[in-house]
Amino acid sequence: MHGAAVDFAALRTELQVPQAFPRTVETAAADVAAHRTPTAADYTVATQLDLVTVDPTGSRDLDQAFALERHGDGFRLWYAIADVAAFVRSGDAVDAEAWRRGETRYCPDRSIPLHPSSLSEGAASLLPEKIRPAALWRIDLDGAGEIVPGGVEVRRSLVRSRAQLSYDGLTDLLRTRKAPAPAALLPVVGRLRLEAARLRHAIDLPIPEQRVVPADPADPNGHYTVEFRLPLDVETWNAQLSLVTGMAAASLMLDGGVGLLRTLPAPLPGSVDRLRAAALALGVPWPEGDPVGDVLASLDPSQPAAAAFASLSAELLRGAGYRAFDGDPPPTDECGHAGIAAPYAHVTAPLRRLADRYATEVCLALCTGVTVPDWAVSALPALPDEMASSSKAAHGLERACVDLAEAWLLQPRVGEVFTAAVVESGHERGTVVLDDPAVRARCDGPSLPLGQRVDVRLEVADPASREVRFTFPA
């Protein structure tokens, strides 16, 4: 049978991943889900807006709903974010457990949520045809897709999503010109925002995502394989709505002198110089004066040399973190995000990420001219370390899932020779990428030819240690 029967439950136990919620937390969440109903007295009623959600097929934890419409010579984005603070109070049992988890974690066979499902997939989720409390952003964009000065507002509102769309489904609807009105302009605005990012010299790595997926979705035995996947255009455009909202939030907080930014330091000059030398060696065109973001945007990641260049470019995007402030905003060189090429904040995923609830609360207060609640301000200094810890654990779990699946898939094939692309090359070892199965692994051997296809021999595929290792020459 194609694929391998991988035991992710054992991996979660090994990595001490929080799993079942304590009974007290489940009970508390179910109680507020049933009885804490936001009313029109506390919210602006915006249920007349036609909003839709776009998520992976089968999702139930729906953080965001949007509508795009023409507005003068530009566009208006309505972006509703689930109001988790309507249900979770600072210091209560659900809040304490959320701080223990930090963010939702993902395995191929299940997710480990930040909040109990009675909230994250129920009362707080922006499910279709349900009236829900939300932080409703209004962001006006000009004809080039840039935020209009003074064109940002966020209010607590009651909203109702009209439809739950999937990425594949919306792709088909757009292709046949049957997309619902709120999403019909997504390609237009998405492309404008991508061009705006290019003009800001944002850095976006064209590296396919490596995912563990069912070998056969209908297979009841839980067999998995690994694949490389580039996002659909719809996913990329949809992500631009989240990014522009995060940029609007960062601007609000910097102007208000209090908040929580998502930061990424600018690349060091030496990193760019090394990358320019690698481009020359790989034959990747880098016209004089072009920023690295433009070079990356022109690549075809299916070509080995381009894949190697993109892999090496990951060095430019290291050091992401959070920066809390209350009073004077951080210095300009400490508040930006190099990948986005602008200040940025996480506010669009509060069902799945702890920090977003607090950053959203700051924005709501600043926009309405009231004092930011003490519970939100007092938590800001602790959030950068909390999010760094949870992010490291979440990324470690995802990487371990891939490593484990790779080892199980290749275990019967130790000794075989595979053709692979060399994407990293050092003095005695490097990294190679196979096409089938979609494996990225260490390869031992001197003088690995960077950016070329070579034959390599599989020496180790050990599920117990999650190690896969090749040698060159084969």
Q: What is the tens place of the pLDDT at every residue in 203-226? A: 998 888 999 999 887 775 678 999
Q: What is the average pLDDT value for the chain, to the nearest integer?
A: 94
Which of 66-80, 137-151, 277-291 has the least mean pLDDT?
Answer: 277-291
**CATH topology classification for 414-471:** OB fold (Dihydrolipoamide Acetyltransferase, E2P) (2.40.50)
Domain ranges of the chain: 9-264+321-380, 269-315, 414-471
- Residue 267 has what pLDDT? 87
Look up the pTM and report it.
0.95
Quote the pLDDT of residue 333: 86
Judge contact between 282 and 382, C-beta under 8 A. no
Q: Distance (Å, rounded) from C-alpha 363 to C-alpha 45?
A: 19
Report the interhelical angle of 93-101 vs 23-35 (nearest 10°): 120
Distance CA 405, CA 4 (A): 7
Is the bond leading into 437 cis (omega within 30 degrees of zero)? yes
Q: How many CA atoms lie within 13 A of 155 on its CB side?
A: 12
What's the rounded Cα separation, in Å, for the pair 298 and 284? Answer: 10
Return the pLDDT at 296. 92
Span 68-80, mean pLDDT? 98
- pLDDT for 1: 42
Q: CB-based contacts of 156: which residues, under 8 Å, 6+ apart?
A: 42, 43, 44, 83, 133, 134, 135, 136, 364
Residue 436 is predicted with a pLDDT of 84
Compute the Cα dihedral for 231, 233, 237, 240 and give only its sign.
positive
* Residue 176 binned pLDDT confidence (cut-offs 50, 70, 90): very high
- What residue has token string 């003095």? 427
Query: In 241-259, which positions are buried (b, 16+ CB within 10 angstroms) versus exposed (e)?
Result: bbbbbbbbbbbbbbebebb
What's the whole-number mean pLDDT along residues 3-19?
A: 91
Which residue type occupies 23? R
Q: Mean per-residue pLDDT for 349-376?
A: 97
Residues 6+ apart with CB under 8 A from 15: 393, 396, 397, 400
- Does 474 have pLDDT greater than 80? no
What integer is the mean pLDDT of 222-232?
A: 90
- Is a pLDDT exceeding 90 seen at residue 141? yes
What was the pLDDT predicted at 221?
66
Percent of the chain with pLDDT over 70: 99
Lowest-confidence region among 111-115, 216-220, 301-305:
216-220
Tell whether the model's pLDDT for residue 13 goes beyond 90: yes
